[in-house]
Amino acid sequence: MPYPTSRRAFLKFVASSPLFAPLGPAACGTGKDAPVSHILDRLGTVGEPDQDLGELIAAPGAALDVFDFRVTAERALPPAHYGYIATGVDGDATLRANREAFGHLQIRPRRLVDVETIDTATSIMGTRCDTPVVIAPTGSQRAFHPEGELATARAARAKGHLMALSTVTTTSVEDVAEARGEPIWYQLYPTSRWDVTEQLLRRAEAAACQVVVLTVDLPVTSNRLTLSRYIKRDTRDCSQCHATGPSEYGAQNTSFSRKPMFDGTDIRDAEFNTPALTWDFVDRLKNSTRMRVVIKGIVTAEDATRCLERGVDGIIVSNHGGRAEESGRATIQSLPEVVRTVRRRVPVLVDGGIRRGTDIFKAIALGADAVCIGRPYLWGLAAFGQPGVEKVLDILSAELATVMRLAGTRTLAEIGSSSVVTA
């Protein structure tokens, strides 16, 4: 690929990269040095739905729901960084679908149940948790707050959540594992070079990760137009954080080589687009690690069957938060066929558009063992760092407890298929 030299070419590259990998706040900043003009220039109809929800808040404690953090995060971040969180693909139809589909599920509450005491505890991949909410892997968190993944890990520790760490983390797996204090999950993006994969696996294992999450929904670059639109509004010079690097490297590889997980690894020839990847990679992965293997990005019964045939240990029903293919289909709509296929043989998790306790309740009712959240905790991180993430987690937990009480369900096990109906 020819090397982009001009700012415009560089930004075009960044927008088209599947993994857009900002390195951190050093020069790009996380908002303090950002022009404030973008605040008045909100992009209105692109990105997430519910744009009318949320209010600017001055402290985490002032938040009424997670949307207050979205509004506050948008104001705190430079446009390109906020756009990286906000973006879906093409016309953002899948992003919207992920949210809107929850509106087509209605809750069927039972009355006169003693709900004085409720219990949201569960066991996820052998780990006992007080909550079914898992922190989804998201890249480049230091682009949102100087403490990045460490702030997220500390919040996860304080609130007792499982956390998955992205391959394109801006903090090393060793440091994040230490900050979390309990084993974290390691999310793996495959590359064209197996030795690179192996090095990542060995580091994750040495950092006591017990689960590797293989993301399979981005074999090629997706078309993140909303990100491109935000980048167009960003007038900063981004070259210090976003590598434009030596010419023998591709730009993406240069950017990746500056990520902590690739420290000391020569990734010159590694391809991060892996269109030729097949289920054989899953076999190889299974045979090469002692970690449990979870596949993230499954949305069909057929692929759920393949996962079971391959002996995977868990499935995450996910469309990358509407950032992979523009299917127009919500993950909560994909969940039932996966659940029917899996028949409780391995845990099934789901992510995409979970913003309220009622969304968690509906996912559990449709058979999910747990849910993952992406953007909500990033909004909390961008707005206030660790306290922001903690408050997002608190809000979701409190909302889940409330809907469980109002629906007459005392445990997650009592939330069943009769707890919801399709509108």
In the complex, the residues that contact ligand FMN under the rule CB under 6 A are 84-85, 98, 136-139, 166, 168, 187, 215, 296, 318, 320-321, 351-354, 373-375, 378
Name the phi and psi angles at 79, rounded to 5. -55, -45
State the nearest-atom distance from the C-beta of 251 to ligand FMN, in Å.
18
Query: How far is it, in rounded angstroms, from Cα 39 to Cα 210?
Result: 42
Contact 291, 205 (CB under 8 A): yes
State the nearest-atom distance from the C-beta of 418 to ligand FMN, in Å.
26
Residue carrying the six token digits 């960003």 = 234
Task: Please indicate whether residue 320 is annotated as part of the active site.
Answer: yes
Please identify, using beta-carbon distances, which residue of 170 and 386 lies nearer to ligand FMN: 170
Please identify, using beta-carbon distances, which residue of 10 and 84 lies nearer to ligand FMN: 84
Inter-axis angle of helices 93-100 and 331-342, to 10 degrees? Answer: 70
Contact 51, 67 (CB under 8 A): no
Please identify, using beta-carbon distances, which residue of 118 and 354 lies nearer to ligand FMN: 354
Classify the C-alpha dihedral 219-220-224-227 as positive or negative: positive
Please identify, using beta-carbon distances, which residue of 84 and 256 lies nearer to ligand FMN: 84
**Which is it for strands 127-129 and 122-124: parallel, antiparallel or unpaired?**
antiparallel
State the nearest-atom distance from the C-beta of 111 to ligand FMN, in Å.
32
The DSSP call for residue 411 is B
Catalytic option among 81, 161, 242, 320: 320
Please identify, using beta-carbon distances, which residue of 210 and 318 lies nearer to ligand FMN: 318
The DSSP call for residue 248 is T
- Tokens for 321? 């938060």
Chain position whose Cβ is nearest to ligand FMN? 374
Could you tell me which residues come within 8 angstroms of residue 238 by beta carbon, excluding any fewer than 6 positions away?
7, 10, 11, 14, 22, 28, 80
Please identify, using beta-carbon distances, which residue of 76 and 136 lies nearer to ligand FMN: 136
State the nearest-atom distance from the C-beta of 247 to ligand FMN, in Å.
27
Contact 298, 304 (CB under 8 A): yes
DSSP H/E element including 286 = helix 279-288
State the nearest-atom distance from the C-beta of 5 to ligand FMN, in Å.
27
State the nearest-atom distance from the C-beta of 110 to ligand FMN, in Å.
29
Active site residues: 320
